[in-house]
Amino acid sequence: MSSLRTCARAAIRIQKLTSVIYTGERGIKRWVAPTLRVINKRKAKLGPQPEPRRSNFLDWNYNAEIFAFNKRLSENFDVELLQQAFTHRSYVAQEEQKQREVGIENPELSIKDNTDLIVEGKCLTSEIVERYLRQALPRLPEEGILKLKDYLLSEEIVAKVSVQIGTKDIILSEDHPVRQETLVNTFFALVAALARSNDVVHTSFFVRDFLIATLSDKEILSIWTPSHPFQTLDAILNREKRGSADFRLTAQTGVNTILAAYQVAVYSDQQFLGIGTGETVQVAKNIAALDALQRMFGIADFSRPIPFNLTVDVSSQRTENLPLTKWCTENLKHTVGG
């Protein structure tokens, strides 16, 4: 009997345990609505408010934020360098102005700003990105590599990365809300600070993991497209001593409708090169040529994805990829091999 009782007790306990599981609820409770309505009304009455500065909040602890930044990214920034990377020239000027207003003639602040870090970081990032792209995409022509580099180092992309690693609130700058340019400069300063704290190889990992990795979900052809696919394809085939591009209509449907679709495939010496679809035969031919090129350059949908685990050697000699005017499989072997 007692064993039965213990069993029952155990069962009750298990039930209690399972009932702890939190179930989320959707929507707002009926009785909350009037309050929310009033709050919203008051907000509307006040008009648009300036974005609050996070550092003005009572619970703001700058040192803790700096420490957390380091830990969050699993990096070994030198704390002083890290603080310097976040401090912009405009902030220092603002502080000096404040002291002057108080009455101090020659304000002497021991704060270092990040002006030289920015310049240094910009060069370093550019170098790392360029070398990494060449290593990761050896078949892509040099034109494409440069365009990809421009894309990665563009203000929009770097600023986005900068925001996403959590610099926005820690930046010490005059402007508020923080301008894109400031965000970008901070990222470059961080790169330089990391290079000084650690070494260049480690910095290249930082750039690879946060900046170059944004390419993972991008279609490379949407960033760079060869400008004259027909001529480019013909020139490449000519250089490879293969027959000229032979376009064949492989499928068509709804020819008499506005939704006509033509499928054209390119062949050279009976060898399939690429396939394209379009609303007219001409468009389809263009796409087919582009498809053939992207297959050659190894940037098609089904090609091996860009590797994000390479190590770049910044100190080694610079080797450029083949430009479009010299691109052919034979030359490629020499470059990639050597």
Partner 1 sequence: MGNVSSKNFVPRSRKFVRRNQKSFFQHKHDRKYLTSIMSAVKRAQQWATFARTWHLFDATWQNPFDSAQVIIKHLMGLHKPIYHPMNDCGDHVVVMNSRDIALPGDEWRKRVYFHHTTYPGGASWTLAWELHNKNPTLVIKKAVYNGMDGNLQRRHTMQRLHVFPDDKIPEEILKNISNQIRYLRPVPTRLDHISPEEVENYPKIVDYPKQYILR
* Chain residues 285-314 in contact with partner 1, contact rule CB under 8 A: 286-287, 290-291, 294
| Three-class SS state of 253 | strand
DSSP tag of 105? S
Q: Which window, 109-117, 202-210, 276-284, 307-315, contacts partner 1 (CB under 8 A)?
A: 276-284
Distance CA 229, CA 243 (A): 16
| Choice between 121 and 229, CB closer to partner 1 | 229
Q: What angle do CA 301, 307, 308 make, to 5 degrees?
A: 125
Nearer to partner 1, 154 or 329 (CB): 154
CA distances from 63 to 39, 137, 194, 313, 320 (A): 35, 41, 18, 34, 44
CB of 280 to partner 1, least distance (A): 6
Nearer to partner 1 by Cβ, of 96 and 234: the residue is 234
Strand 271-278 to 261-268 pairing:
antiparallel
Binder to partner 1 among 97, 280, 311, 319 (CB under 8 A)?
280
Torsion of the alpha carbons at 54, 55, 59 and 61, rounded to the nearest 10 = 130
End-to-end CA distance of the chain: 84
Taking CB under 8 A as the rule, does residue 282 contact partner 1? yes
Please tell me the distance from the alpha carbon of residue 73 to that of residue 310, in angstroms, as a whole number: 19
Cβ nearer to partner 1, comparing 74 with 256? 256
Q: For the window 119-158, what string marks contact with partner 1 as x by the rule CB under 8 A?
A: --------------------------------x--x-xx-
Least gap, CB of 314 to partner 1 (angstroms): 27
Tokens at 179, concatenated: 């301008």
Q: Are the CB atoms for 250 and 235 separated by under 8 Å? A: no
H or E element at residue 249: strand 246-253
Least distance in angstroms from the C-beta of 294 to partner 1: 7
Smallest separation, CB 287 to partner 1 (Å):
4
- Cα separations in angstroms, 67 against 7, 63, 79, 117, 173: 51, 6, 8, 20, 19
| Size of interface with partner 1, in residues (CB under 8 A) | 40
- Find tokens 């990105």 and name the residue: 129
Pick one of 44, 58, 102, 255: the residue that binds partner 1 (CB under 8 A). 255
Measure the CA angle with vertex 76, ends 75 and 79; round to 5°.
115
Interface with partner 1 (CB under 8 A), residue from 166, 254, 305, 323? 254
For partner 1, the binding residues in 154-193 under the rule CB under 8 A are 154, 156-157, 159-160, 163, 180
Q: How far is the CB of 30 from partner 1 (least distance, A)?
A: 31
Residues 214-253 that bind partner 1 (CB under 8 A): 219, 221-223, 225-229, 251-253
CA 101 to chain CA centroid, Å, is 43
Which positions from 45 to 84 touch partner 1 by CB under 8 A, shown as an x/- string? Answer: ----------------------------------------
Binding site for partner 1 (CB under 8 A): 151, 154, 156-157, 159-160, 163, 180, 219, 221-223, 225-229, 251-257, 259, 261, 263, 276-280, 282-284, 286-287, 290-291, 294
